[in-house]
Structure 1
């Protein structure tokens, strides 16, 4: 379990590095004179880099080993995190390039981590180890949302970057190095979906996914899989999955989740800052006060929604298990979980178009992100169902395209805010996009093996 704990700490550092820019964007916007369009470009530059390297990361990890690739990539994304305050005085382009490189190097992390867990951890410990390792994402987001907010508010955004990067370098230099210096015993017992035709076989399949809101694992019993998943001697290729409409609607639904999650991951602190500033301005106007209105960050606003994601993601796995034990068809379970993760956010985003109260907005944001966590048992696990022999490659493809939707919507958010000044101008198209994904997946989605 030492490897799993080291990966957990590394995941926390990774997500802290990823989310600290969103928190720092509020003071950086004022200090560096950025408008919303520029902020959108800066924020989306990370996801542009992240989109490019996931498939490459998996290939390199398979060829050279996950430990080596993860450790080397971590060194570079930590250095680029620390570099942000250094390059910021040289202009916006320097910040954009640095964040783009951070995204590129972070794209290697999860493919490498899954390589380590699937090949270097004993089969009996793999499910528990994977859960521990992936929990670091939630820890990093929550800790950064609380302590990061306090650091930026009380000290400076520059110190926040130095501290996040410094702690990460400490993990890379001491903990990860200490763990990997001693040989990791490889595990050759990998799960063979065709090893048993007995539907009651005591097996569980850990479905690994990196979604729009987090990197998750959902374990489902092998009995939940369709009986058609026996191994086939005929060679298949991942691209063959795209001959089926079910693969395309899975991609669409996954991109919908990625769109609203990436927008909120990057813009949520700014949204609450703007909302509270508007409320304060209105109150000052009524009070005939001439005192200035200051933008500020709130620990609760930046942490509570992600705590809801954590709880709902865990709940989605439990609910999926319960429904399967109630003899629900796996396709029905997938569609139900994905329906919650898209219809719920769509309704809440439409409501947010008309909300001015910060407290009500916080409740709705918690519901948006919490419902989104149910996709862990929906499209995030679906590649394992429809293409078990190519689940990793297929998920890499759909996750890269999901990240691309994040690039588009994060950039679009900055442009729309700059031109309209209204958050409803982005919440409404996101809600429509989510409903389209829900309808498509409900109509054509499947958990039946396709290739």
Structure 2
């Protein structure tokens, strides 16, 4: 993809970053082939990573979907609930860059497994922490912080694996498949919550998710990692010094920042909906069945995510410029939600609310063919670190927006401000992304070649 994008960028007098990355990718291609998974092995990893992202989101969603019950048990206000839920993102942002950087060095497989075992244990002991002291608010916030800290390395590790182990023609499919796993995890968590609350209690949801996460990590280690030779990814770079500093040089470039800003806004709006939708439906439609609003949007998101990844790869295979395809996918992912989330600021029926939210979330999944995979186009040699930085920025914005949403609900006593906030974030992020990309397209070819010549000196 990076080479195709570079060629398109040169023809259209722009995208100096694509040119830089495509040339460095060509020089590394012979080494890169040694680290790629074979097709049978790739299929196995696609399946287990899909299941891993499913369990990741089961663990992440356990507290949000139990928030109403836990708030009643521990006597939390909306502000208290927002603090607890937002605690996840404080931890989540800390380990993003570290997780991607280490994955680029030693292989994402090892980092993924260590992460899964750790978050499985912390989610399993969360109910026990709540019973240790009367300070449940502090302990639950701490538990969410630790969960975020341990899950923070997961997606940067996936980005690193995608760049180093997967052929370019299948990267869009992998990222959309993993994205669909997150929505399945949300769906499964919602279904498990209904069963557990009715028959056992909210604590058992945490126990089961923790057990399954640890079991997944053990099985992956035993069947796919134990005794296997995992190539160290640092061998793909031309020098240790370049490996240590390359990702920092990319972060300074406007094209990368356009991608980061779009990711931040997309992540912020998604985190708001992920954290507060269960509470919105339970309070607004108290007689409705949770199996409907906790499942329908996420069922629709699974095929939608796959369609987004497939559509982006299909358009690129038909010789459409990669930059154009990424912008189109991101326009759908952020523009459509603006249109469909704004009516939620008014009084609507349950059917209308579920329909609007379903379309909003389904459209947002097209980001898997946009900025989520754009990092592999621009910076394949340090995709883990760059993606970690993107996710860190997205997590920081999530800390602010999730907590801000709780404050707005408590102060205004209405959900209208929250949905308006989601629309504003999406619209602003999309506008900045399109403006920066248009500005980048006007960069002259001479400037691109000059920067390319300077950059290539590092390989001499």
| TM-score between the two structures when normalised by the length of structure 1 | 0.78
The reply to whether residue 104 of structure 1 matches residue 149 of structure 2 is: yes
Q: SS of the residue aligned with 1:260?
A: helix
Match of residue 267, structure 2, among 239, 258, 274: 258
Q: Match for residue 293 of structure 2?
A: 301
Deviation per CA, 1:179-222, whole angstroms, max 9, x where unpaired?
256322446899999xxxxxxxxxxxxxxxxxxxxxxxxxxxxx
Q: SS of the residue aligned with 1:381?
A: helix
Q: Match for residue 399 of structure 2?
A: 407
The reply to whether residue 270 of structure 1 matches residue 279 of structure 2 is: yes
Q: Match for residue 163 of structure 1?
A: 208
The reply to whether residue 315 of structure 1 matches residue 307 of structure 2 is: yes
Contact 2:160 2:384 in 1 (8 A): no
State the distance in 1 between where 2:266 and 2:431 align. 13
Q: How does 1:38-77 map to 2 (within 5 A)?
A: 38-77=80-119
The reply to whether residue 339 of structure 1 matches residue 331 of structure 2 is: yes
Contact 2:99 2:152 in 1 (8 A): yes
What stretches of structure 2 of length at least 5 have no aligned partner?
1-40, 442-447, 456-460
Match of residue 138, structure 2, among 71, 85, 93: 93
Match of residue 151, structure 1, among 161, 182, 196: 196
Contact 1:123 1:189 in 2 (8 A): no
Deviation per CA, 1:76-131, whole angstroms, max 9, x where unpaired?
21111012211223221011101110110111223344555666x68699868777
Deviation per CA, 1:250-274, whole angstroms, max 9, x where unpaired?
2222111111101111111111111
State the distance in 1 between where 2:257 and 2:166 align. 35
Contact 1:337 1:374 in 2 (8 A): yes
Q: SS of the residue aligned with 2:372?
A: coil
Where relative contact order (Cα < 8 A, 6+ residues apart) is larger, the structure is 2
State the distance in 2 between where 1:7 and 1:19 align. 18
Match of residue 220, structure 2, among 168, 172, 176: 176
Task: Give the length in aligned residue pairs.
Answer: 394
Shift of 1:413: 0.9
Shift of 1:38: 0.6
Deviation per CA, 1:45-83, whole angstroms, max 9, x where unpaired?
112111111211223334454444333332221111012
Shift of 1:242: 4.4
Contact 1:58 1:112 in 2 (8 A): yes
Q: Which has the higher mean CA deviation after the structures are superposed, 361-370 or 161-170?
A: 161-170
Which of the pair is proportionally richer in helix?
2
TM-aligned CA distance change 1:245 to 1:125, over 3 Å: closer
Q: Match for residue 371 of structure 1?
A: 363
TM-aligned CA distance change 1:341 to 1:116, over 3 Å: closer
TM-aligned CA distance change 1:356 to 1:165, over 3 Å: same
- RMSD over aligned CA atoms reads 3.3
TM-aligned CA distance change 1:320 to 1:113, over 3 Å: closer
TM-aligned CA distance change 1:23 to 1:69, over 3 Å: same
TM-aligned CA distance change 1:249 to 1:235, over 3 Å: same
Q: Match for residue 431 of structure 1?
A: 423
Q: Match for residue 288 of structure 1?
A: none
Contact 2:179 2:305 in 1 (8 A): no
TM-aligned CA distance change 1:48 to 1:324, over 3 Å: same
Shift of 1:135: 5.2
What stretches of structure 1 of length at least 5 have no aligned partner?
194-232, 281-295
Q: Match for residue 16 of structure 1?
A: 58
State the distance in 1 between where 2:174 and 2:267 align. 26
State the distance in 1 between where 2:428 and 2:272 align. 18
Q: How does 1:89-238 map to 2 (within 5 A)?
A: 89=131, 90=133, 91-115=136-160, 136-173=181-218, 175-180=219-224, 182-186=226-230, 237-238=246-247
Q: Which has the higher mean CA deviation after the structures are superposed, 126-135 or 424-433?
A: 126-135
State the distance in 1 between where 2:311 and 2:177 align. 20
Shift of 1:171: 2.6
Q: Match for residue 342 of structure 2?
A: 350
Q: SS of the residue aligned with 2:295?
A: helix
Q: SS of the residue aligned with 1:328?
A: coil
